[in-house]
Amino acid sequence: MGIGVGRKSLYKAKETPSLVIVPSVPYLIIDGEGNSNEDEYTRSTRLLFSLHDLLCERTGVVENPVLECIWTAREIENREPWSWSAMIGEPHGMTDSLFKEVRDELAFKQGIPTLDIYRSNIEDGLCVTLLHTGPFSFEGKSFQMMEAYCKEQNLTRRGRSHREIYLDHPRRRRDDLKTILRLPVREL
């Protein structure tokens, strides 16, 4: 099972901050608000995996889906509440008509609405990236390292969002979870 045509390099990072230029990537996306422990997020990410699996079955493409999420703090002061866009890279060879057909089929099979899932290309551009190993609750130290790197390299963040790429299943509760963190940046 592969990660997706031409995307393997996007799922590699070091345990120290470094720069990466992320090109435009086609995704299956669903948006929401809250945190990753809430039911809405769990339902939404399950729906993405189900849709991806059904699309792969239809196209004959064998890909290992990687869950990603762009998190945006709506209030800078307290870093809460969050809005999020959960996403999985769409299978190679996707068409809009196939997407709509399979999305509707999934809604019928599971008896749940799927119209909130959409397709979009996202280009993150220049980013600081780092491989975080450990529980999500310890990501703060990793973000501090990334912020320090930005200062050293004369970079500043673009916006209030960051991307998390879950190399392990995000529902696992263990001390060695691997998550790629990315901050979109620009030169000062």
To the nearest whole percent, how much of the chain has pLDDT over 70?
Answer: 90
**Per-residue confidence (pLDDT) for residue 3, from 0 to 100:** 52
Task: Give domain 8-187's CATH superfamily.
Answer: Regulatory factor, effector binding domain (3.20.80.10)
Residue 44 backbone phi and psi in degrees, to 5: -65, -45
Distance CA 23, CA 51 (A): 24
Q: Is the pLDDT of residue 2 over 50?
A: no
Average pLDDT over residues 132-158: 94
Tokens, residue 43: 């339902």
pLDDT band at 74 (very low <50, low <70, confident <90, very high): confident
In the chain, the DSSP E strands lie at 18-33, 67-73, 82-89, 118-133, 155-157, 161-166, 178-187
CA angle 29, 99, 84 (to 5 degrees): 5
Mind listing the pLDDT tens digit for each residue in 102-119? 999 999 998 888 999 999
Distance CA 115, CA 87 (A): 15
Average pLDDT over residues 49-56: 94
The 10 Å Cβ neighbour count of residue 28 is 24
Burial 70-90 (b: 16+ CB within 10 A, else e): bbeeeeeeeeeebebbbbbbb
- How many Å from the N-terminal Cα to the C-terminal Cα in the chain? 41
